[in-house]
Every structure is written in C-alpha cells, then in structure tokens.
Chain A
Amino acid sequence: DVKVTQSSRYLVKRTGEKVFLECVQDMDHENMFWYRQDPGLGLRLIYFSYDVKMKEKGDIPEGYSVSREKKERFSLILESASTNQTSMYLCASSPDRMQETQYFGPGTRLLVL
C-alpha cells in the first residue's frame, strides 16, 4: 500500500510565526504535491516537485515556499503565517510521468490565530 504521512493532524499557530509542514512518502515516488482545501473553493495546488531539489509553482504559491532535499520528503513552509492561511493542507505523491495517479496523506488542519 502507498503510504503518505504528514507530520501533524492539527496545528495552531500565531500570526507571523514560521510554520513547517512535513510530508513523507514511502513508495519511492518521483512527484510530490502540496494542496490546500477550503470550503467552497475545493483543492488548490500550491507547489509541486518532480525531482529532488526541483520545485514548480502551482496555482496559489504566494506566501508559501517548499523544500525537497530528499526524494521521500517534501516540506511546505509558511514564512510568516497569516490568518488567511488557516486551511486544510494536503500532501500527495505520484510515481512518475507514466503512472500519474496521486495518493494523498491524511491532511493537516492549520489554524492561524
């Protein structure tokens, strides 16, 4: 079974704090993705990575950065958290360009006060 894990299920942070969300997959997948999910807006892609040290902007990258130093790990960074970044954050991975089904982690619900 594909396993995608996220470091926290729930997180509460204060405005201005630096926030790290970690994602790890155990299936040697090449591609990894970060989404946020908000009521009425659906899933929106923040950043993705198709190789170690490579990153590409998604639809809503503003206010976020990412890091992929190892193949299995993809980190999402909120440099200075704001209340409008309160959301459900979902990480996903997919094997490669020939097998493109994305498998999701359980999500991190982030509340920024």
Chain B
Amino acid sequence: EDQVTQSPEALRLQEGESSSLNCSYTVSGLRGLFWYRQDPGKGPEFLFTLYSAGEEKEKERLKATLTKKESFLHITAPKPEDSATYLCAVQVNSGYSTLTFGKGTMLLVSP
C-alpha cells in the first residue's frame, strides 16, 4: 500500500528563521511527487511537481527537492504570509492519475 508521511505535523517559526518540511513516501513506483499549499478554509494551491531523484524546483522562498525515499520543502527566510498547511502527494505508475496525500504540515510564521 502506498504511504505518504509528513513531518513535523506542525511547525512554528520566527520570521526569517529558515527550516525544512519533510515528506517521506513508500510507493511501488513513483510517477511524480506534488507539493501544495492550503490556506484555512480554502482549496489546495499547486506549488511544485518533482519526477526524479535529484530534481529541485524553486518558487520565491520555497525550494523542493526529491530523493528516492523523501522530499523536502525548504523555506528560506519565511514571512508571516507563508503561514499555511503544506501538503505532499504522490502519484504512482498505474493506469489512473490519482494522488495519495500526506496529512500535511501546518506552518505558522510569527513576525
């Protein structure tokens, strides 16, 4: 069974204090790994897709990396507006393009 585990469940940072969120996965064959951001009461917003180990993608203060067992979302010098829940999801090599989601990391950045 495909599994996605995100850690920590919650993270509190001071503004400017860089850190990383972890997404570890156990799947039969990875087709892609996705990161989303979700604000309270809203739908998830797509951030990145990673397809192969060693791949990296960046967007503003966020950088996602991928290994054969896990992905990291690095947040550099975060601002209060980066506060949100960050979701990781995996897609496996099967006939349908469904995603299996982790439970998310809730990030709070204090000024």
Contacts and interface: CB of A to CB of B under 8 A. Distances in A.
Interface in B37-63: 41-46, 49
B74 interface: no
Contacts of B104: 42
Contacts of B46: 101-104
Contacts of A62: none
Interface in A29-85: 31, 33, 40-45, 48, 50, 56, 58
B26 to A, nearest CB: 16
A94 B49 CA distance: 13
A90 B34 contact: no
Given A90-B43, A100-B31, A48 B102 contact: no
A48 B96 CA distance: 9
B103 A107 contact: no
Residue among A45, A94, A101 with the most chain B CB within 10 A? A101
Among B32, B41, B49, B87, find the residue whose CB has the most chain A CB atoms closer than 10 A.
B41
Give the interface size bracket for A toward B. 20 to 34
A41 B98 CA distance: 17
B77 interface: no
Contact of A107 (B31, B41, B91, B101): B41
B103 A40 contact: yes
Nearest to A42: B103
Interface of B: 31-32, 34, 36, 41-46, 49, 87, 89, 91, 96-99, 101-104
23 contacts: A40-B103, A42-B101, A42-B104, A43-B44, A43-B87, A43-B101, A45-B98, A48-B96, A48-B98, A50-B97, A56-B96, A58-B98, A90-B43, A90-B44, A94-B97, A100-B32, A100-B91, A101-B34, A102-B34, A102-B99, A106-B42, A107-B41, A107-B43
